[in-house]
A and B are shown apart, each in its own frame.
Chain A
Amino acid sequence: MSQSLSIQQFPLKKFQSLLALLILCVVLSFMTDKFFTADNGLNVLRQVAVNVCIATGMTLVVLTAGIDLSVGSVLALCGALTAGLFKNGLSFPANDLFVGFTLLGAILGGLLLGSLLGWFNGFTVTKFNVPPFVATLAMLTIARGLTMLYTKGHPISNLGADFAFIGAGIVFGIPVPVWIAAMVVLIAVFITQKTKLGRYIYAIGGNEQAAKLSGINIRKVKLTVYAMAGAMAALGGVIVTARLDSAQPNAGISYELDAIAAVVIGGTSLSGGKGSVWGTVMGAIIIGVLNNGLVLLNVSPFWQQVVKGGVILLAVVIDKMGENRE
C-alpha cells in the first residue's frame, strides 16, 4: 500500500499548485468582473514573466539543495551591461579602440556576464565549500556594488524602439516577455526531465554523498546549474531594462525573495531533490494572480504583502503535512 501511495505522490504534487491556482482564479472571477478577461490574463503573464525566468533558474539551484540570493543584483548588473553595451559600446581609450554592439550582441554580453557571475557562485560553493546561502549573499552585495560602479549610480536610458520591443512588443497576440519566459521554462523542463544533467541535479539534491559515489561530477553539475541561474537572471534583467526603456541601478532589489516564494509555493523542497520547474511556473503565476487580484479588489498594498506571506506559509505547511504522511 505504501508503495502505491508514493507512486502517486509526484503527479499529485504537480496538480496541487495547479489546483490552488484554478481555485484562486475562480474565486477572483466571482469577486470582480475585471479579472477574468483576456487582457488581464496577458497582463498578469507579462508581469510574472521576469519572475518566471529568475525562479526557473532558482528551481534548478534549489533542486541541488542550494539557493541563489544574488539573482536580483545579477539581474541589475546584467541589465545595465546590456543597456550600456548597446548604447555606448565598449571603448578602450588607451588602445584607441572602440567596440560597438548590436542589440543581439549586447544581450549575449549580458547573458555571458550573468553566467560568469553564476559560475563564480558555483565556484565558491564547490571549491571552498561555502554554504550557498553565504556565497550568493556575498554575490548579492558584490553585483549590486558593481552595478553602481558601472552605471555611476545613474540609469542608462533611451535605448530605442528595438530594445523596448523586448519589453513591450507583442508577437502573435502574446507579449514578448511571455515568449521569452516560456522559452526559458521549456529549456529547463527539457533539462530536468529528459537529460542526464537533470537526473544528476535531482540525485545531488536527494543525496549528495550517494550521487558522488555514483561517479557524478558534483562540482561540474553545480557549476552548470549556478551558471544557468545567473544567465536566466540576466535574461530577466534584459526584460526589465527593456520594459522601462532604462537600466536602473537599483533594479531587481528583493527579486530573489519572489523567486524563492514561487519555487516554494510550486512545491519544490528547499532541502533539494524534490520538485519541478512546472511547479515553480504555477507558483510564480499564483503570486502574480494574487498581486493582480488584490489590486483589482482595491486591497491596500500593505495587506497584499501580508497575504503573500500567508500564502507562502500555507504552501510550506501543506508540503510538510504531505511529507509527514509518507
Chain B
Amino acid sequence: MGAGRTELMETLFGLHPKNSTGEIKIKEKSIKIKSPSAAITAGIALVPEDRKLHGLVLGQTIKSNISITILKQLESWGMLSRKKEKILTTGYIHKLGIKTSSDQAMAKSLSGGNQQKIVLAKWLATNPQILLLDEPTRGIDINAKAEIYQLMKQLAAGGMGIIMISSELPEILAVSDRVLVMCEGELTADVPIEEATEAGLLKYALHKNEPAA
C-alpha cells in the first residue's frame, strides 16, 4: 500500500535497527529495541502480514512452529523437555481451536485460518503485553475470521494491548477502540472509535497533509 504501516510495525519489533529514529515507550518507560529478541523481551509480539513467508516454517510440525519462540523456557540442563513442549502446544491447539489430527502435522497441511492460529499461538506463548497484528485476517475463511476477532476481544479484555493493521474498514470499525490512519509513511489521523466513520477515515488515508478536522 505504501502507507508505511508494515514498516512501522517492523520497526517497533526491532527489524530496522539501523534506519529508524524516535522513541518507544511502554507504560511511560522508554526502551530501546534493536532486534526481534529484544522486542520479545520487552513484551512485544508481531504476527506478520505474510504468514507463509514470515510467520511459519511450513515444512515443519505445528509443535516446532508454536514452541520456537520460547524454546529457552523449555530447556533444562541444555535439553528440551518434550513433555513441557507437548503440554504447551496441545494447550494452544485446544485454546485456539486449531483443527488438526496431531501437533506433529506439518504446518503446510493446514488451512489458512488454522495456519494463522499457529502464528498467533507461537506469539501468545511469549506472553506479550503488546500484540502487533499485520492484516491478521487476510486470506482466511469467515469462521476463522470471527474466531480471531473473538480472541482479540478476549485478549484486550485481559489487559493486552493490540495494534492491528487492516485495510478493511468494516473490520477496523468493528474491533477497534482507537483508529490511527497512515498515508505515505506519515500518521494522518488519530480518531477514537466513537468519532470514526468509513468516509471520515478514508479521507485521511487518501489526502495527505489535510488539516485535521
Q: Which residues of A contact B (CB under 8 A)?
A: 2-4, 6-7, 9, 194-196, 199-200, 202-203, 206-207, 209-217, 273-274
Q: Mark B88-107, 1 if CB is under 8 A from A, else 0.
A: 00000000000011101110
Question: B58 near A: Cβ within 8 Å?
Answer: yes
Interface residue ranges of B32-46 to A (CB < 8 Å):
35-37, 39-40, 46
Residues of B within 8 A of A273 (CB): 57, 59-60
Assess the A6–B106 pair: CB atoms within 8 A.
yes
Question: B22 near A: Cβ within 8 Å?
Answer: no
Q: Known: A212-B36, A214-B122. Contact between A195 and B75, CB under 8 A? A: yes
Question: B54 near A: Cβ within 8 Å?
Answer: yes
Taking residues whose C-beta sits less than 8 angstroms from the other chain, chain B's interface range is: 35 or more
Q: A210-B56, A273-B59 are in contact. List 13 more A-B contacts (CB 8 A).
A: A3-B101, A3-B102, A3-B106, A6-B105, A196-B75, A199-B80, A200-B71, A203-B68, A206-B58, A207-B58, A214-B69, A217-B37, A273-B57
Residues of B within 8 A of A211 (CB): 57, 68
Interface-centre pick from B40, B55, B57 (highest chain A CB count, 10 A) = B57
Q: Mark B14-27, 1 if CB is under 8 A from A, else 0.
A: 01000000000000
Q: Known: A3-B105, A217-B37. Contact between A199 and B68, CB under 8 A? A: yes
Assess the B79–A194 pair: CB atoms within 8 A.
yes
Residues of B within 8 A of A196 (CB): 71-72, 74-75, 80
Question: B212 near A: Cβ within 8 Å?
Answer: no
Q: Known: A195-B78, A195-B80. Contact between A210 and B104, CB under 8 A? A: no
Assess the A215–B36 pair: CB atoms within 8 A.
yes
- Closest chain B CB from A293 CB (angstroms): 35
Assess the B109–A2 pair: CB atoms within 8 A.
yes
Cα–Cα, bound, A274→B15 (Å): 27
Assess the B64–A214 pair: CB atoms within 8 A.
no
Q: Which residues of B contact A (CB under 8 A)?
A: 13, 15, 35-37, 39-40, 46, 48, 53-60, 64, 67-69, 71-72, 74-75, 78-80, 100-102, 104-106, 108-109, 122
- Name 24 A/B residue pairs within 8 A (Cβ), A-sorted: A3-B100, A3-B102, A6-B105, A7-B104, A194-B80, A196-B71, A196-B75, A199-B71, A199-B80, A202-B57, A203-B64, A203-B68, A207-B59, A210-B54, A211-B57, A212-B15, A212-B36, A213-B13, A213-B54, A215-B39, A215-B40, A215-B69, A217-B35, A273-B57
Residues of A within 8 A of B72 (CB): 196
Closest chain A residue to B100, Cβ basis: A3
- Closest chain B CB from A147 CB (angstroms): 35
Cα–Cα, bound, A7→B39 (Å): 34
Cα–Cα, bound, A4→B102 (Å): 9
Closest chain A residue to B71, Cβ basis: A196
Closest chain A residue to B39, Cβ basis: A215
Assess the A7–B102 pair: CB atoms within 8 A.
yes
Closest chain B residue to A7, Cβ basis: B104
Closest chain B residue to A2, Cβ basis: B109
Assess the B80–A210 pair: CB atoms within 8 A.
no
Residues of A within 8 A of B122 (CB): 214
Closest chain B residue to A6, Cβ basis: B106
- Closest chain B CB from A267 CB (angstroms): 14
- Closest chain A CB from B14 CB (angstroms): 9
Residues of A within 8 A of B15 (CB): 212-213
Assess the A3–B79 pair: CB atoms within 8 A.
no
Residues of A within 8 A of B40 (CB): 215
- Closest chain B CB from A221 CB (angstroms): 12
Kindly list the 3 A-B residue pairs having the minimum CB-CB distance in the complex, ordered from nearest: A206-B57, A215-B37, A196-B71
Interface-centre pick from B39, B59, B102 (highest chain A CB count, 10 A) = B59
Cα–Cα, bound, A196→B76 (Å): 10
